[in-house]
Structure 1
């Protein structure tokens, strides 16, 4: 169960970063929930996308290799 939570948190971070980038670049303002806590720069959203998708994809690959139960 704990390992599945890691993948879910990774996807959530990636989606939040993607929403923020879309909002800054093509719409009038930030999207997602991160901007409600503080006003992040564009590079923060890029880092969120990279870390979030990296964690999620890494977890899925490890699960398929059999290293993670779930």
Structure 2
């Protein structure tokens, strides 16, 4: 039974891995910004770039799911 769902388990594990990597990157950036006493405008730009990277990754995943569901990919 486990072998039937191996692909789904791998995909879930990979997505959780990427989510944890994004979390740890965010925590590291937060620490660097706090220690460096970066001005508010600079912090906002850094967080915007980080958010856009995460949003792009999520959009890629959603597009992939929709394309596979409709038989395109």
Shorter chain as denominator, the TM-score bin is: 0.3 to 0.5
Higher relative contact order (CA 8 A, sep 6+): 1
- TM normalised by structure 2 equals 0.45
Give the structure with the higher percent helix: 2
Give the TM-score of the pair, scaled to structure 1. Answer: 0.46
